[in-house]
Amino acid sequence: MGLGETALSLALLLILIFSGVSQWFTDLLSLPVIAAAVVYFVVLLIIFELLTLPMAYYRGLDLPRRYGISIQKFKSWLADQAKGGAIGLVLGVAAVAAGYWLLLNFADYWWLMAWGVMIIVSILMTIIAPIFLVPWFYKVKPLPDIELKSRLEQLVQKARTEVQGIFTLDYSSKVTAANAGLMGMGHTRRIVVSDTLVQQYTIPEIEVVTAHEIGHHINRDIFRIFVIQSAVYLIGFSIIDAVLKAVVLPLGFGGIADPAALPLLMLILGAFSALASPLLKAYSRHVESQADRYALVLTDNPKAFINAMTRLVNQNLAVACPSAWEELLLYDHPGYNRRVEHARIYEKWRENRGKS
C-alpha cells in the first residue's frame, strides 16, 4: 500500500509537469508568486489526501483492526487523520511560502538558506513535540506505577545520567501494540513507554526496553542522527538546486520561482529523499544496535532482553526475519533476528566470563 501511494503521487506530479495543467492552473489563479504557490500547494494536498484516503483507511484502520492490532473507532481514527493533516498543512504552507520567498529574492543561494531554515524548524519541532504534539494524539502522564518507577529511576542512576522524567502514553485507547521511545531535546527530553508495555510486561523486560532508551540518551543519538541528516540534506539541497535550474526552462516553466514548477520541485525533492532514505536508515540501524548493546551491559540481563524483543515482535506482528532488501529500504531498526543474535552472543560471553 505504501508503494501504491508513492506510485500515485509520482503519477500525479508527472501528469502535472508534462501535460500543461500546472501552467494552466497557475495562470488561472492570477495571484502573486508566493500566494499562487501556496494556493497551488493546498489544492495539491487536498487532491492527494482525497485520492489516498481509501488506502489510508485500509492500511491505517481496517487492516490493523482485522488482525487485532487496532481497537480504534472510526471517528477517533478520522480525528487523528484530521489532526495529522492540519499539522502537515500548516508546516507545508509555511515551507512553500518561505521557499518561494527565498527563490524570488535569493535565486543563487536559496537552497542554502532553505537548508538553514529547515535545521531551525527541525530543532524547534523536536523540542516542542513531547509537550504540544504528542498529547494531541495520546494522553501523556508520569509513570503511575510506584515500584516500576523506582526501579527505572535506579536504572537511570546506574547509568549516571538524568532524564526529564519517565512518562506513559495511553496506547491501549487505540491499539494493542507496545512501544517505547526517547523524545524531545534539552529540558523536554524524556523517556516514554506505552501503557500496554507497562501493563503486560515484567519489570525486568521493561527495564531492558528502558535501558535501550537510556542508551540513546547516553550516546546522544538524537543529536547524532540530527547531524547526519543535516549533512545529507545540505548536499541534497545543493543537488536539488542544480537539477531544478538545469531542467526548469527546458520543461517550459518560467524559472525556478515559477509557481507552476511546484510539482517539479516536489518531484526532485521526493526523488532525493527516496535515494537518501536507505543511507539514513542504515545509520539509524547502527545507533539502534549500539543502544541494544548498552541495554545489555547496563542490565546484564540478556534473557530479559530476548524475552522482551520476542514478545514485542509477536505482539506488534512485526516481521521477525526481513529479507536483506526489505531491511535495507524500510527498516530503521535492526530485524528481530539480528537483535536476538547479538543478545545471545552477549549471553554466551557472560557465561564464559562467569566460568573464568
User: Can you give the three-state secondary structure of 140-166, one letter per residue?
Assistant: EEECCCHHHHHHHHHHHHHCCCCCCCE
CA distances from 65 to 107, 175, 339 (A): 49, 9, 28
Of 277, 187, 267, 246, the residue nearest 10 (C-alpha): 267
Do the Cβ atoms of 197 and 311 come closer than 8 Å?
no
- Rounded to whole angstroms, how far apart are CA atoms 289 and 216? 10
User: What does residue 181 show for φ and ψ, rounded to 5 degrees?
Assistant: -165, 165
- The strand pairing partners of 245, in sequence order, are none
Question: Which amino acid, one-letter code, is at 227?
Answer: V
Confidence (pLDDT) at 97: 96
| Long-range Cβ contacts of 118-122 (<8 Å, 24+ apart) | 118/233, 119/230, 121/91, 122/226, 122/229, 122/230
Q: Whole-prediction pTM value?
A: 0.87
- The strand pairing partners of 182, in sequence order, are 191
Sign, CA torsion 48/54/57/60: negative
Angle separating helix axes 33-57 and 21-29, nearest 10 degrees:
130
Structural domain boundaries in the chain: 2-355
Q: Consecutive 10-residue runs of the chain (356 residues): their mean pLDDT? A: 87 92 91 95 92 90 93 93 92 95 94 94 87 88 88 88 86 91 79 91 93 90 91 94 95 93 94 93 95 94 95 92 90 93 91 71
